[in-house]
Structure 1
Amino acid sequence: MEVERVFIGAGCNRIVNNVSWGASGLVSFGTQNGVAIFCPKTAQILTTLPGHKASVNCTHWLPSNKFSFMATKLKQHYLLSGDANGCIILWELSLPDKNWKYILQLPESHKKGVTCISGIMISQTDAMFASSSSDGTVHVWELIFPSMSGGDCKLSLLQSFSAGTKPMVAVSLAKLPGNNGRIVIALGGLDNKIHLFCGERTGQFVRACELKGHTDWIRSLDFSLPINSNGETNNLLLVSSSQDRGIRIWKMVLQSSSVERSQEFSLTSFIKGPIFKAGSMSYQISLESLLIGHEDWVYSVEWQPPLSVDGIECEQPLSILSASMDKTMMIWQPEKTTGIWMNVVIVGELGHCALGFYGGHWSPNGDSILAHGYGGSFHLWRNVGFDCDNWKPQKVPSGHFAAVSDISWAKSGQYLLSVSHDQTTRVFATWLDELHSTNEGAWHEVARPQVHGHDINCVTIIKGKGNHRFVCGSEEKVARVFEAPLSFLKTLNHACLDKYSSPDDDVQTNLQILGANMSALGLSQKPIYVNATTEISERTTNEGMDTLETIPEAVPVEFTEPPIEEQLVWHTLWPETHKLYGHGNELFSLCSDHVGKIVASSCKAQSASVADIWLWQVGSWKAVGRLQAHSLTVSQMEFSYDDKYLLAVSRDRHFSVFSIEQTTASNEISYGLVAKQEGHKRIIWTCSWNPLGHEFATGSRDKTVKIWGIEENSSSVKLLVALPQFSSSVTALSWASIDNEKRDEGILAVGMENGLIELWRTSISRTENGIGSAKSATSVVALRFDPFVCNVSSVNRLAWRNSEMDMDSRTMELASCGDDHTVRVFRINLL
């Protein structure tokens, strides 16, 4: 077997300085404790880099977008990532083969979380970078790239120093004009001042001066490249932004050597600002401009990357991108006649979305701008105008910004549904293009059915005939039932181009519900009916301003191409049709049978009286049974593929098997406990049935997986095989069968707490006639996934796209989700 990564969906950590756009054209960002890399051209996440033990706070490319003119001949690009523990890791990307390599963890780590990393290219093979931390220290490093491919980097710590009594959260470096080889570092943070330090290439940075003016925390600093004026590059510009909503541009001018020392303290120089010395040269600082336009904290400012001419000369455009919590990004440029800085482009204003932007970044060639927001989302605009600016939104990758707790495939595999502690439910699907309908299509988020008021723990899609429905459970005692509206069914047809539709689906195409509205508290989503859309538009125009009680009506939309973030949030909600009351604590696990008639649910429990499994009848949504067997939380449940048995595993280290019988005539359900047994020495986290028989696997915190079989006649359970001990707690299992003549082969996918995934080939031998209970089982490891492909932290759920595989196709698809905020789809090729 071999594995191929098909899709990664992930949201961005909600922190400033987390995103970096490199000269390679790729964007890096932290997603929990992983570093994700995405390609803006394809709107796909390419990979995640494992290595950090804590949440990733910041990333920085060497060379970054500012130095793309120096990177035309570079085969290797480097990435720095810093986390909340103070650890910084250096990675290498080989451009020819697109391979990533973990180089090293920086030997001098900070005592607390890294707040910012910023670097500059001294030459094509030499870079300097500085890192700041909540512990108040700043580390300055030199990195020398290998002269030939396959060589080693040389990394050396030049200096560590403290800039002040309070932590610094913004750093920028620049070469001072005048070609004297001196470097200036600007630091900004919680004391509202900009601290300038000067030093030589070898280190020994000393305090040059302080710049005062901002009245709140300084959030972002960025040096331009030296500005060409009157044929000389004697000017350097520094832009700063703050929580005082203002942006300031500071100008550093190289003083001519004829300036008398007595003039340094004259009235004119006092008005202009401080003068600092770097070696034999002096630099005059003045406030060039104060930019006022944002209505909230300005989290980031960045100069447009220089334009290169034949990779040699470069010109710094006078253009600044700012991103703010007021949900806008602005581009500022000086007017040609007066020189007054004005905001010439404003994008954003996301209407009803959550809080605004944590940062904004230019593409290396300056034709695109990217923002990352409070909801872990990306927002990309590209300038598509020829003669004048015309910024249009573009597709970007999306995903959850908190742990993804559960996933479920649609009944015929058209899409994957995921739920998360970020309080959203999301639908991911391949979007097929009509021009290339033979291709597989690229994965995108196509709907966000639920935006909830609680962290969501579990979900199950109801199989069987009828419309698309799912049940989810969260940090409340209620399970909620959602049904797909007409707008989603039409969008799904565009996405799949009817590839998966079949006459057996019996989906209601004459639905009267077009979409759903969010309530004021985000707890219950009311339906919008087809004939009500005209009333909505009339009502919203008449009522005018919104109040807290009346959130503006959503407008359900049928999409003909993958929706972007603003559309997902507001136009793809599903109506909630039922609430299931009964549990005493927050819901923890859900499952449904394969004919779509029963849903089973469990909740968090500390005693046997609360640990009941409730059975609900689909349609009437009445409670039709309470199964008692466990004394602590039931962690996972699953129906056997013929729906005769319900398997449950629990934190009390036991598993239980119940027989379930449904009489079609009276719709009555009878059930009974077949077996209850202590299966492991620690919590049993997960279980999965063999699709071809009454065998099941259990996985536990004791790092073991065991395969059990039900004795058909005696109604008892016997252990068939115990797999060798794994490297970490087993947190997810999913069993699929391989359809061949033997009829007893399968693949068991095993997910672990450390994020790794393994596939084991199983073989069940039965009694002589080939039917009935299993005599024995064997299992051998077939494939261990590469860590660069796997989840970066605990795998919460694994799910095969179809449990049975036709041998003719030779490929299967496996989905995973985990604490690293990601949803992943893998293609398994049988060689």
Structure 2
Amino acid sequence: MSPTEAGELAGGSGAGGGVGVGVERVFVGAGCNRVVNNVSWGACGLVAFGAQNAVALFSPSRGEIVSTLPGHKATVNCTLWLPTKKDVHQVRCAERHYLLSGSADGIIMSWKIDSGKGEWTHALQLPVMHKKGVTCLAGRMVSDTVSIFASTSSDGTVVIWKMEDEPATVGSCKVSCLHSISIGPKPMVSLSLAVLPGQGGHLILAMGGLDHKVHIYCGDQSGKFTKACDLKGHSDWIRSLDFSLPVMTGSEEHSLFLVSSSQDRTIRIWKMNSDAVSSGHTTSRKEDIGIASYIEGPLFVSGNTHYQVSLESLLVGHEDWVYSVEWQPPTLTGDEAHQPMSILSASMDKMMMIWKPEKNTGLWINSVTVGELTHSALGFYGGHWEPDGKSILAHGYGGSFHMWRDVGLGSENWQPQIVPSGHFAPVSDLTWSRSGEYLLSVSHDQTTRIFAPWRSQVSPGDVACWREIARPQIHGHDINCVALIQGSGNHRFVSGADEKVSRVFEAPLSFLKTLQHATLLKSDKSEDFDDVQVLGANMSALGLSQKPIYTHGARETPNSISNDGPDSIETIPDAVPTVFTEPPVEDQLAWNTLWPETHKLYGHGNELFSICCDHGGKLIASSCKAQSAPVAEIWLWEVGTWKAVRRLQSHNLTVTQMEFSRDNAFLLSVSRDRHLSVFSIRKTDDGAEHHLIAKLEAHKRIIWACSWNPFSHEFATGSRDKTVKIWRVEDSSSVNLLTTLPQFHDSVTALAWTGRDRARNAGLLAVGMDNGMIELWNISGGRASTDNSGSGSSPLSFACMLRFDPMLCHVSTVHRLRWQKSDSSDEKSVLQLASCGADHCVRVFEVHDF
């Protein structure tokens, strides 16, 4: 679904003697924006959702995000597929599908996917009609090429639109505004649109919002809608509305059903049938059903027919706000569309329920309940049916998806399924593991997550699918930086957050064995687990520290989550460490994959901002937010004793990034004060010795990023002044500027340098920018060795090798770029580049020669 080859190639001295490079995106991890109406499951089989300013698409069958669509400048609030799941006749012959998305700045965009080619194009941006954020979209196809849809906004207006598909033209669709309805001071937050039965294209629009009423409007394809009636009954905000397809009742007439849900925790089903038949059949139904008798509501007129509204049922079962209700999608039998009488509801009580009328009495009852036991105190923002009705999907407060599929043969049996996952706030930092088998990221969503390619045991030859396999740290503060501790021994990392403490974590036995399953390593080739005494970690209800659970004390502990039901507080499980033989789902990640915290590093006076580890795993450097020289000190910590061994003074403001040279001889730091500093570092028995070699005002604006050449003592710095400069440490005593790359289009916020050819001192420099774009530059020449002699010097040359396609890139600031195993001197044909950004995304690219 996404382009794989991308980029504009610039000529010049490319890597490998003029050979170019190509890029392919292999993984995107992103959480869902925490707003109602954000998710839409299309008839094409893809799920669309907003991830910060991007529209992300994931394939439920693969459990992977397949593409992200850039364009919006503000948070995406709502999405809508056309044709919808209810347009079963149009879906069958649809050559292309359209996706509408609305954002917090009032902009609505249209995207097109060609069903045959699977290629995405940006169709158009609709005229700006809303002054504030778009909160809901609803629409229907009224013919094979024409659709009518409505948008509502917090500015108090509802706009009716018409979209015409024009296959003959290049633009392929035309959108016009038909009507704008002013609602008043209490805006509408939910919409549903349907075609009235037997009316020759007359439409009915239901809207609900802050005034506790359901407003019914009637209109036709010309777009002129008039108020028909109000439906009263709810006692709080109405959050979701959905019309069914016309349903055949006892007579030969069709009835239309509308379901509404509210923050008053109830769901109401309204029935609308033509007045001519309602009076004749109300009596008989009352006699048949008794307690479920109709409560007659208002009468309204559309065209030449009167419609009687009655309350079909009041559904009470949820214990918190019901954010979402949706009718099961219709099925097509021959040319006849059949509407199943089944409703899915999702609530903030962490439950989704399927409601169906009982066969004997006709009473609506709750037939299926599914839910989650996550650490989050809040529940689901929305629930959605798969087009065939076999799966249901919820999105929750933690930016997470939860999917269940009915795998039962004779009776219903709903089982959790694998879905994409990721951070739901800006991702501030990431790092590869020592041997590159997994990626660890930290975010302002206060979690640390591990992503890895999970290889199928059934068919090991297949391409591995990337999954989130662990959530080592769940914190109470935004996490700003992370460093993996290099060297031999167990997997360890240190993270810094919006507190004055760095925390050290060590991989437990449960994670090591899970990683073994993910990578399909045989036990004789894997690490020796005998020395690992810690099975996992547990988090106290009110604490920030994750306490270890030891292997000898875990014999009696159950190794799986109790399935007794989520009804009582007693059944909520402890955070039991678990070894996973298949990718874990959301509640397992939240409960069963914590790492124990082994040390805290006290000393900084403000929030931690940057952290790094030397390549031998002996020293850690950390910095914090600072506005004065004493606070801007860089602290050096000794791995093992975890003592502060040195405090390096040079900068006056926050040190934004630090990195050790590949031979650990130098520590480079860059700062908000526009200076760079290079320290010589030597590890000693009693700690470390350091010496400030150079402090230079390197740029005209904040310096955000720096990176060393893996083969020599050259390094790059990137700044808000839109420049990247290449420097060299001369004779371990001074720093000289070698060159400045041509000015970039935006602020440079991330850099990563990897080696490609040691003999020519050639490598690739990845440059990430404030607008989300990524470029690859070939840097070669200069000094080809790390000795102090002048031998091997050659002029430094550079060329832009690749500009990533915007469809592959982030949609806002790139925070960090990391090459996998960038210290390798072998000229590999395929490299992996990881990136993270303010758009909540973690991305992995494969860069290869072509």
Which category describes the TM-score, using the shorter chain as reference length?
over 0.9
Partner of 1:263: none
Taking a change above 3 Å as real, the CA distance of residues 499 and 766 of structure 1, as seen in their structure-2 partners, is: farther
Give 2:495's aligned amino acid.
C
1:573 paired with 2:597, answer no
TM-score by length of structure 1 reads: 0.94
Shift of 1:123: 1.6
Which deviates more, 124-133 or 269-278?
269-278
User: Are the structure 2 counterparts of residues 502 and 710 from structure 1 closer, same or farther at C-alpha, using a change threshold of 3 Å?
Assistant: farther
Larger relative contact order, structure 1 or 2 (CA cutoff 8 Å, min sep 6): 2
2:327 alignment partner in structure 1: 303
| SS of structure 2 residue aligned to 1:629 | coil
The answer to whether the aligner puts 1:423 opposite 2:440 as a matched pair is no
Give the aligned partner of residue 83 of structure 1: 103
The amino acid that maps onto 1:815 is A
Alpha-carbon distance in structure 2 between the residues aligned to 1:322 and 1:210: 23
Q: For 1:596 and 1:549, how far apart are their aligned partners in 2?
A: 44
- Please say if 1:730 is aligned against 2:748: yes
Q: Which residue of 2 aligns with 1:687?
A: 706
Cα distance in 1 for partners of 2:166, 2:188 equals 31
- Which residue in 1 is equivalent to 2:623? 602
Candidates 314, 338, 341, aligned match of 1:290: 314
- Aligned pairs for 1:384-533 (under 5 A) are 384-498=407-521, 508-533=529-554
Where do 5+ consecutive residues of structure 2 fail to align?
1-20, 281-292
Deviation at residue 201 of structure 1 after TM alignment = 0.8
Q: Retained in 2: the 8 A contact 1:166–1:191?
A: yes
Distance 1:346 1:386 in 2: 18
Q: How does 1:88-107 map to 2 (within 5 A)?
A: 88-107=108-127
Partner Cα separation in structure 1 for residue 181 and residue 567 of structure 2: 52
Q: Which residue of 2 aligns with 1:817?
A: 836
Structure 1 residue 769: deviation in Å? 11
- How has the CA–CA distance of structure 1 residues 385 and 551 changed in structure 2, closer, same or farther, with 3 Å as cutoff? closer
Deviation at 1:721, TM superposition (A): 1.0
Contact kept in structure 2, 1:519 and 1:551, CA below 8 Å: no
CA distance in 1 between counterparts of 2:200 and 2:588 reads 52
Q: Percent identity?
A: 61
Provide the C-alpha distance between the structure 2 equivalents of 1:769 and 1:536, rounded to a whole number of angstroms. 54
* Aligned-residue offset at 1:65: 2.3
Residues of 2 paired with 1:208 and 1:181: CA distance?
17
- SS of residue matched to 2:398: coil
Alignment of 1:743-754 (within 5 A): 743-754=760-771
Q: Which amino acid aligns with 1:797?
A: R
Letter in 1 for 2:83: P
Structure 1 spans left out of the alignment, 5+ residues: 261-268
CA distance in 1 between partners of 2:522 and 2:225 (Å): 64
Contact 1:721–1:776 under 8 Å retained in 2: no
Which residue pairs with 2:609 in the alignment?
588
Q: CA deviation at 1:809?
A: 4.1
The answer to which of 574-583 and 119-128 deviates more is 119-128
Distance (Å, rounded) in 1 between the aligned partners of 2:586 and 2:84: 26
Alignment counterpart, residue 317 of structure 1, candidates 331, 336, 340: 340
Distance in 2 between the 1:307 and 1:94 partners? 23
Q: Look up the SS of the partner of 2:189 in the other structure.
A: strand
Report the CA distance shift for 1:625/1:808 in structure 2 as closer, same or farther (over 3 A).
Answer: closer
Asked if structure 2 preserves the Cα contact closer than 8 Å seen for 1:35 and 1:48, the reply is yes
In 2 relative to 1, CA 259–474 (structure 1 residues): closer, same or farther, beyond 3 Å? closer
> Which residue of 1 is the match for residue 40 of structure 2?
20
**Alignment partner for residue 403 of structure 2, among 374, 380, 397?**
380
Three-state SS of the structure 2 residue aligned to 1:65 is coil
Instruction: Give the letter for the 2:313 counterpart.
Output: S
Check whether the contact 2:253–2:277 (CA below 8 A) recurs between aligned residues: no
5 Å matches for 1:100-179? 100-148=120-168, 150-179=170-199
Match of 1:331 among 354, 368, 371: 354
- The alignment status of 1:780 with 2:799, answered yes or no, reads yes
Residue of structure 2 equivalent to 1:624: 645
The 2-side partners of 1:594 and 1:770 are apart by 19
Aligned residues of 1:760 and 1:783 also touching (Cα < 8 A): yes
TM-score normalised by length of structure 2: 0.92
Q: May I ask how many residue pairs the two structures share in their alignment? A: 812
Q: Which amino acid aligns with 1:369?
A: I
**What does residue 80 of structure 2 align with?**
60
* 1:452-488 Cα shifts (integer Å, max 9, x gaps): 0000000000011010000000000000000000000
| 1:717 match | 735
Cα deviation code 1:290-338 (max 9, x no counterpart): 001111100000000000124x221010000000011110000101111
CA RMSD of aligned residues (A): 2.4
Shift of 1:572: 0.1
Distance 1:768 1:105, change over 3 A: closer
- Offset at 1:232? 3.2
CA–CA distance in structure 1, aligned partners of residues 567 and 129 of structure 2: 50
Letter in 1 for 2:323: Y
Amino acid at match of 2:318: H
Paired residue secondary structure (1:435): coil
- Which deviations, in whole Å up to 9, do the C-alpha atoms of 1:745-776 show, x marking residues without a partner? 10000000000000000012338999746564
The alignment partner of 2:599 has SS state of strand
| More off after superposition, 378-387 vs 775-784 | 775-784
Shift of 1:105: 1.3
Cα deviation code 1:562-606 (max 9, x no counterpart): 000010000000000000000000000000000100000000000
- Measure, in 1, the Cα distance between the counterparts of 2:639 and 2:828: 34
Asked whether the 8 Å contact 1:223–1:238 carries over to 2, the reply is yes
Aligned equivalents of 1:668, 1:148: Cα separation in 2: 74
Greater shift in the superposed pair: 796-805 or 183-192: 796-805
Cα pair 1:139 1:157 within 8 Å, conserved: yes
Quickly say closer, same or farther: Cα 1:547–1:690, change in 2 above 3 A: farther
What is the alpha-carbon distance in structure 2 between the residues aligned to residue 769 and residue 489 of structure 1?
A: 37
Equivalence for 2:297: 273
Which residue of 629, 653, 661 maps to 1:640?
A: 661
Q: Is the 8 A contact 2:660 2:666 kept in 1?
A: yes
SS in structure 2 at match of 1:66? coil
SS in 2 for 1:567: helix
* Equivalent position of 2:676 in the other structure: 655
Number of the residue aligned with 1:218 = 238
The verdict on how the C-alpha distance between 1:674 and 1:80 changes in structure 2, with shifts beyond 3 A counting, is: same
Q: Supply the AA of the counterpart residue of 2:839.
A: D
The 5 Å alignment of 1:321-360 reads 321-350=344-373, 352-360=375-383
The 3-state SS of whatever aligns with 1:232 is coil
Flag the 1:185–1:117 CA change in 2: closer, same or farther, 3 A.
same
